[in-house]
Amino acid sequence: MFGILDKGVLRLGNSEIVIEDHGSSVLYRRIDLSANTTVQEMIISKNVELRLTPIYPVFYPRFVTQYMLCLLDKAITLAPGESVDVYASIPIDVAVYAYTPQSFRILDIVPLHSEAKYVLYGSIDSGIVARLCTTSIHISMPPTRLGYAISRLVIRNGIGKIVSVTRILLDASPLRLYYRPGTWEAYTQTIYMNIVSDTIAIISYGTPFVEGVEPIDDPDSLRPPRIYNRTEMLQGY
């Protein structure tokens, strides 16, 4: 479960985390069960607290981009001027954080979706590389499960014609992840998508829509400055 990681064995998808106590330190191992090999092994001193939290799926297999292109499993069609309020299950991975009272650091990323792929959003000259995420859309809030964060998605059609939305570009820097300790529940804040032209939509990031959840500590590569708390989809939605 998210929260403090105690010694013992924990299975996460195709991975198994083993933490062995060796007196003055602990031995951390992550085993890939599909290949039956240890893929990560490290010694951690005793006063470091290990914590499991959700993490954006942009760190596995390596950090290439902070953008995620979420392909919706069903298109959302909106009449002019109308808006819809739906929920989306966005794929996430799990991070193992090391905490001391003064600092924190990501020690390991446990991939929960082994088939990571990237796409180019836009053209070769001005597009951006984004992690491809298949996202399921729900009318009501779906049950939470390991490997997915629930997002509340408010889409507004601001133009005078019918539009269909099939994808959403999210930026992991302004996007926040929240978790409920002791469960596998993970959430984002409310995401607003405002369609402003035939090809342009503005994504903005609101506040959390569930209570009693804790935000994750963003890794260095995604830290602010969050000067513009929005993402512009300039090449179609």
Residue 132 in the binding site for another protein (CB under 8 A):
yes
Tell me how far apart the alpha carbons of residues 227 and 4 are, in angstroms, rounded to a whole number.
32
For the CB of residue 60, give the shortest distance to another protein in the complex, in Å.
8
Distance of CA 146 to the CA centre of its chain: 12
Going 209 to 211 to 213 to 216, the CA torsion angle's sign is positive
The alpha carbon torsion through 80, 85, 88, 92 (nearest 10 deg) reads: 110
For the CB of residue 204, give the shortest distance to another protein in the complex, in Å.
23
Of 167 and 180, CB closest to another protein = 167
Q: Helix (H, G, I), strand (E, B), or coil: what is residue 169?
A: strand
For the CB of residue 122, give the shortest distance to another protein in the complex, in Å.
8
- Tell me the chain's radius of gyration from C-alpha atoms: 19
Residue 65 in the binding site for another protein (CB under 8 A):
yes
Residue 35 in the binding site for another protein (CB under 8 A):
no
Residue 127 in the binding site for another protein (CB under 8 A):
yes
For the CB of residue 126, give the shortest distance to another protein in the complex, in Å.
8
Query: Binders of another protein among 93-122, rule CB under 8 A?
Result: 115-120
Tell me how far apart the alpha carbons of residues 207 and 102 are, in angstroms, rounded to a whole number.
27
Residue 202 in the binding site for another protein (CB under 8 A):
no
Of 62 and 220, CB closest to another protein = 62
Do residues 200 and 234 make contact, with C-beta atoms less than 8 angstroms apart? Answer: yes
For the CB of residue 107, give the shortest distance to another protein in the complex, in Å.
21
Tally the residues of the chain: 237
Of 23 and 61, CB closest to another protein = 61
Residue 128 in the binding site for another protein (CB under 8 A):
yes
Going 138 to 141 to 143 to 144, the CA torsion angle's sign is positive
> How many residues touch another protein (CB under 8 A)?
16
CB atoms inside a 10 Å sphere around CB 170: 28
Residue 124 in the binding site for another protein (CB under 8 A):
yes
For the CB of residue 61, give the shortest distance to another protein in the complex, in Å.
5
Do residues 68 and 170 make contact, with C-beta atoms less than 8 angstroms apart? Answer: yes
**Which residues sit at the interface with another protein, rule CB under 8 A?**
61-62, 64-65, 115-120, 124-125, 127-129, 132
